[in-house]
Structure 1
Amino acid sequence: MGCIDMPASQDLYSFIRTSPWGRTLAAGDLDLVLSAAMARTYLPGESVVSTGGEANYWVGIMDGLVVQKVVSEKGEETSLTAACSGTWFGEGTLMKQGRWRYDAVVQREARVALIPLHIFQWLLDSSLAFNQFVARLLNARLGHFMELLAIGRLPGIDARVAHTLASLFDPYLYPNRSNLLPFSQSEIGLLAGVSRQRANAALKQLEADGLIEARRQGVRVIDVEGLRRR
């Protein structure tokens, strides 16, 4: 079953209005954005964007979990990062008016907000506040990927999982993040580039160290800075 287009709704409007960039817009500009925005629902395994596809929308995750990944010519898959509630992505590709260079695959059913390319470009041309938000977002994303590169070179699995969890607390990339990360052991392993079993062992050690607490709903982070120091 493919993605499901949803009519404009109050929850879509609220999501955009209360987003960090939506709150900066003048009323008339916000109305224009809302009139063009769309919502779609994607099921697990479906792609929100696909490598080589035209970048026609700026993407915001209203609910659910999407993992950005790349696949080598040999079919080897590498997860880059996760996009969850409150996350926006794709601005760099849209600014270059290019094609997607990664897949964004749904792990957990996702409700997605889509801002058309021409509206995104118009905001860049007309709103200083929006430009400032995008600049901060790009800077945060650069720092995030630099951190992920460093995480991939850490020798210890415990440290790799710890830094992966800490990387999900950037306020620009994950503005709605609470201390409870609603991720399963397999999803954390996917992000850290380790098996579910190795992720489980690392999470148990981090819990024993008092840095996290395992819950049925996911992982509650007790000490973000402690995770970064691992």
Structure 2
Amino acid sequence: MANIKSELKQGLAKTMWAHMLAPDHVQKAEDEIVERFIPAGGYVCRKGDPVDHWMGVLDGFLKMSSISPEGKTVTFSCMLAGGWFGEGSLLKTEPRRYDVVALRDTRVAYMPRSTFTFLLDNSIPFNRFLLHQLNERLGLFISLVEYDRMLDPDTRVARCLAAMFNPYLNPGSSMQLQISQEEIGYISSVSRQRANQALQLLEKKQLLSVDYGGITILNLEGLRRYPEPVAA
């Protein structure tokens, strides 16, 4: 148990909100959060589930998605280590409106609703963090509608990769990202083969380099604005 708590503490250190809290509030969160292991392909939560926790990625990679009435899978977001999600459903007290699936073996932290509510009621920094995070997530979802309806696959891959480096939604991301082409396809709503073609094009544009088992971002602003040129 001591080792698990130590790993949890290290995982919380990657988050932005934990650094904002008073020491006694951080301690309360550490004491009441539980950790679960979700194997690759496993569900962290399902659409329609009751919402009892705020959840965060300690280590691994998650995809937030839903299936339309026509059977199309729509990917809303992905979460890497340090990213937390589900605050909107907790605040509205409604059933879960999406599925969250582990794309690889993942350790997930579960903060009980009671702890979340306590921090909401007693911590101004926590409220400020949530306000910024909700604003960032709204901006992300609006941009994803644009990606899906208006952009070609190459641009969609570029913009979806860039979105993974949001400091509020995925604060633990480094420029070297361990991600497979299949996973890039998942988050961009394209096939693995089409993701591979897009990566080759973006590599030729010197926006990223394709490494064994992942990619390295060379020009994040270029990815965010692709295909628009970025001033030197």
TM-score range, shorter chain: over 0.9
User: 1:183-222 to 2 correspondence within 5 Å?
Assistant: 183-222=179-218
How far apart in 1 are the matches of 2:14 and 2:24? Answer: 16
Is the CA contact (8 Å cut-off) linking 1:6 and 1:40 kept in structure 2? Answer: no
How far apart in 2 are the matches of 1:9 and 1:220? Answer: 32
How far apart in 2 are the matches of 1:150 and 1:18? Answer: 30
Amino acid at match of 1:101: R
How far apart in 2 are the matches of 1:215 and 1:6? Answer: 37
Change (3 A) 1:123 1:155: closer
Amino acid at match of 2:178: P
Identity %: 37
How far apart in 1 are the matches of 2:208 and 2:202? Answer: 6
Change (3 A) 1:6 1:94: farther
Amino acid at match of 2:149: R
1:11 aligns with 2:1: no
Which residue is equivalent to 1:23?
19
Return the TM-score normalized by structure 2.
0.92
User: Aligned pair count?
Assistant: 226
Which residue is equivalent to 1:144?
140
**Structure 1 position 64, deviation (Å):** 0.8
How far apart in 2 are the matches of 1:195 and 1:226? Answer: 23
Query: Which is worse superposed, 33-42 or 6-15?
Result: 6-15
User: Runs in 1 of length 4+ with deviation above 6 angstroms?
Assistant: none
Return the TM-score normalized by structure 1.
0.93
How far apart in 1 are the matches of 2:33 and 2:208? Answer: 38
SS at match of 1:15: helix
Q: Which consecutive residues of structure 2, in runs of 5 or more, have no partner in the other structure?
A: 228-232
User: 1:44-59 to 2 correspondence within 5 Å?
Assistant: 44-59=40-55
Amino acid at match of 1:197: Q
Q: CA RMSD in A?
A: 1.7
Which residue is equivalent to 1:38?
34
User: 1:164-183 to 2 correspondence within 5 Å?
Assistant: 164-183=160-179
Q: Which whole-Å deviations, capped at 9, do the CAs of 1:75-123 have from their partners, x for residues lacking one?
A: 3322221111111000111111211000001110000111100100110
Q: Which consecutive residues of structure 1, in runs of 5 or more, have no partner in the other structure?
A: none
